[in-house]
Amino acid sequence: MLARLDQVLRRAQKDRYAVGAFNISNLEQIQAVVTAADLMQSPVIINVTEKAIAYAGLDIISLIIRNYAKKLSIPIVLNLDHGRDLSIVRQCLGHGFTGIMYDGSRLSWTDNIRRTARVRIQAHAHGAGCEGELGQVKYPDEFKKDKQASMTDPEQAVEFVKQTKIDALAVAIGNAHGQPSANEHLDFDRLKRIRRLVSRPLVLHGASGTPPKDIKRAISNGICKINIDTDLRLAFSQTLRRTIKLHPGWIDPRALLLPSRDSLTNLVKQKIVLFKSHRQAK
């Protein structure tokens, strides 16, 4: 069933687990994520970025996911990830998205609040939840330049949530997008201060490659949504390369892509267990 982002995260917050938000851009990835969540009886957030929309088409990608949601009893959130273009936000809401992650983190403080609040109003009017970001979850090459400046300030987080009235807050506590870096260390003291001051569900982006012990610690300190993208890309592409190498004569795309889909299914199942969301589909 199609579910709202805010409702799924409130339940996760109450029962102290996190819901995986898995990025997809093609049919096989959608199949893998949905199959894994259904097998594990877990709520799931399917993340769609602006780049994925440009690649696969908004009408096609939303229709596939919404059809799966109609057939299955598990809560499925159709979520725009790191939306920055307000016109795409409106289009997604018109195509039945039930979650919007608006990323105004590269804007000024005033503009981030103004635009995030505007998106939250639009999302709620369409029956969707809204997530905002304060601080900047960067890529490793950016992260090294101004680590402290990009972190979420706990006191500012209070005011940001108060003014935007968002349903969930993405925090920057040392996490970074892309392939994991040796310099990436989560600031758990900062996370604890944010948790004490902010009652909304908290979100960890850039969690690919984050050690399981840190994931568990983050969940115990209020993280209710965990975004996974790079890990999925690596699993899919590495398996595809092995398949082509082992079977150079294969020409059927279905045969070539099936092992990659299965690899993704297994990975998502592992993440669901790590996030403690298995058997939480209610």
List, by residue number, the catalytic residues. 81
Q: Which two tokens stand for residue 112?
A: 């981030």
212-220 vs 188-197: helix axis angle to the nearest 10? Answer: 20
Residue of 64, 66, 81, 69 whose CA lies nearest to 43: 69
Residue of 160, 271, 155, 270 whose CA lies nearest to 207: 271
Residue of 186, 160, 162 whose CA lies nearest to 175: 186
List C-alpha distances in Å: 245 to 81, 254, 255, 256: 34, 16, 13, 10
- E-state strands within 95-150: 99-102, 129-134
Q: How far apart are the first and last CA of the chain?
A: 10
Write out the DSSP string of 6-43: HHHHHHHHHHT--EEEEE--SHHHHHHHHHHHHHHT--
Query: Is the CB of residue 25 less than 8 Å from the CB of residue 51?
Result: yes
> Would strands 44-48 and 76-83 be described as parallel, antiparallel, or unpaired?
parallel
